[in-house]
Amino acid sequence: MTALSPLSTETLRIGEREREYVLAVLDSQFRTSAGSSFTKRLEDLFAHTFESKYAIAFTNGTATMHAALAAAGIGPGDEVIVPPLTMASTSFAVLHAGALPVFADIDPDTWTLSPASVEERITPRTRAILPVSIYGLAPDMDGLMDIARRHNLFVLEDDAECFLGKYKGRMIGSIGDASSFSFQSSKHMTSGEGGMITTNDEQLATAIRRINSLGYAAVGAGKGKITRETIQDPLYGRHASVGYNYRMPELCAAVALAQLERLPELVERRALSARILGEAVGKAASAWLRPQAIPEGVTHSWWSYVLKLDRSDITWYDFRDRFREAGGDGIYAAWRLTYLEPAFRNGKFASHQSQLFEKGLCPVAETVQPHLLQFKTNYTDQEKVESQARILRQTIESFESQ
């Protein structure tokens, strides 16, 4: 089996560097003039890492998407095409912007947004596509970007679960018009809560930062500077527009910067865990436990290792219970499809909404979601992953012999 590096302070999720940076913020008394601004350093390194001109730090990866959609001028009367197999924030952000989420189906093998289904859902009101790199796998970006260019649609990538994923040699987070990341505690890199938007468009970046920063006139695509003279002037017009306060706190930025500096290691550890779990699945992978299909030229970033249970005589609960009884860590289910969540079901969110959110909207997603078994990949020591892999093997064998 593949060896993970031995457990050390650096391999703990939060290590010495995170502590050091947090203490530096505290020692600065929150005066950015007293030291370097961690938010600025985080944004600069993030933009560089994700091959984008601009990166804007946020409080979380939901506010990011709200701000990006609003900055693109998307609002009431508009429609945004989203996948249903994702965390509800993808659609919540569309509603926060005042627009209507329209659900398109997923591909049966990659479980990402299907370009063919997107094309079918386009109406004269469609303004954007919001594809999700679900579990760390990029969707068919060529297909989606082609539709977007033909129909003049804005593309916002939801890459909350995809860090350092690649699509045909390009970094995920650099292909759409803007991309959103989350630093929530389960993600590849974390600051407890946090998020980031990347884009190459200066005008869009400026608009996003205004929304992020209470509409301050002084902020631009980069951070912006203001003189004491100006800020003390009683006639100074601070607010160019009405904005939100979605700024990432410095303490979170300190943790996020330390995490970003070791992101390749954090991602690699998840990839190794996924590989070890995949080896344990072995032949069952082609028979009755199907992993997410990874198209040629795409690099998965393994936020989670997910299998689709393809045996009608075994329920999701049967598998979960047997794995757990054998000492398995616990298996997560995929979120319910967003439109079947109580918050959405049969809801009417826009005056022009012609179809209610109900069963039957996305038949492929409806057959895939109930059978997904999500395994953790954020292990910090090799023994633990290997013991989980052995338990998984044992669970599979017990079903194969029955």
Catalytic residue ranges: 187
Q: Does 161 bind ligand PLP (CB under 6 A)?
A: yes
86 contacts ligand PLP (rule: CB under 6 A): yes
Place of tokens 């965390």: 87
| Backbone torsions φ then ψ of 307, nearest 5 degrees | -120, 145
Report residue 307 as tokens: 């299998």
Query: Least distance (Å) from ligand PLP to the CB of residue 93?
Result: 8
Q: 342: how many CB neighbours lie within 10 A of its CB?
A: 8
Report residue 8 as tokens: 């050390």
How far is residue 6's CA from residue 197's CA, in Å, rounded to a whole number?
A: 34
Stretch that binds ligand PLP, among 12-20, 46-54, 87-95, 373-381 (CB under 6 A): 87-95
Amino acid code (one letter) for 203: Q
Phi, psi of 207 (to 5 degrees): -65, -40
Contacting ligand PLP (CB under 6 A), which of 184, 191, 259, 338? 184
Which residue lies nearer to ligand PLP by CB, 79 or 158?
158
Give the CA radius of gyration of the chain.
Answer: 22
d(CA 311, CA 94): 36
Residue with tokens 């984008």: 52
For residue 39, how far is the Cα from the chain centroid?
20
Q: Which one among 87, 306, 309, 361 touches ligand PLP, defined by CB under 6 A?
A: 87
Stretch that binds ligand PLP, among 60-68, 107-115, 230-238, 321-329 (CB under 6 A): 60-68
- Specify the residue, 173 or 222, whose C-beta has the smaller distance to ligand PLP: 173
- For residues 80 and 103, the answer to whether their CB atoms sit within 8 Å is no
Which is closer to ligand PLP, CB of 66 or CB of 392? Answer: 66
Q: Is residue 255 close enough to count as binding ligand PLP by CB under 6 A? A: no
- Nearer to ligand PLP by Cβ, of 299 and 395: the residue is 299
Select 32 or 374, whichever has its Cβ closest to ligand PLP.
374
Select the residue whose beta carbon is closest to ligand PLP and give its number: 61
Question: How buried is 161 (Cβ within 10 angstroms: 0-12 exposed, 13-18 middle, 19+ buried)?
Answer: buried
Q: Which stretch binds ligand PLP (CB under 6 A): 67-75, 86-94, 148-156, 282-290?
A: 86-94
Q: Is 388 in the site for ligand PLP (CB under 6 A)?
A: no
Question: Binder to ligand PLP among 47, 82, 137, 160 (CB under 6 A)?
Answer: 160
d(CA 348, CA 366): 21
Q: How far is the CB of 378 from ligand PLP (least distance, A)?
A: 14
Q: Is 182 in the site for ligand PLP (CB under 6 A)?
A: yes
Whichever of 184 and 199 has its CB closer to ligand PLP, that residue is 184
Closer Cβ to ligand PLP, 86 or 377, answer by number? 86
Q: Compute, in degrees rounded to 10, the torsion defined by CA atoms 245, 247, 248, 250.
A: -100
Query: Position of tokens 């999720």?
Result: 13
Pick the closer one to ligand PLP by CB: 193 or 366. Answer: 193
> For residue 219, which of 234, 233, 236, 238 has the smallest C-alpha distance?
238
Of the ranges 77-85, 148-156, 158-166, 290-298, which one interacts with ligand PLP (CB under 6 A)?
Answer: 158-166
Position 157 contacts ligand PLP (CB under 6 A):
no
- CA proximity to 99, closest of 143, 154, 60: 154
**What distance in Å separates the CA atoms of residue 45 and residue 264, rounded to the nearest whole number?**
13
| Alpha carbons 85 and 338: distance in angstroms, whole number | 7
Query: Contact, 225 vs 36, CB < 8 A?
Result: no
Q: Which range, of 33-41, 96-104, 156-164, 321-329, touches ligand PLP by CB under 6 A?
A: 156-164
Site size toward ligand PLP (CB under 6 A) is 14
Q: Does 338 bind ligand PLP (CB under 6 A)?
A: no
Least separation in angstroms between CB 243 and ligand PLP? 18
Task: Give the nearest distance from C-beta 96 to ligand PLP in angstroms.
Answer: 11
**C-beta of 194: minimal distance to ligand PLP in Å?**
7
Instruction: Report if residue 117 touches ligand PLP, rule: CB under 6 A.
Output: no
Is the Cβ–Cβ distance between 44 and 55 less than 8 Å? yes
* Chain residues in the site for ligand PLP (CB under 6 A): 60-62, 86-87, 89-90, 132, 158, 160-161, 182, 184, 195
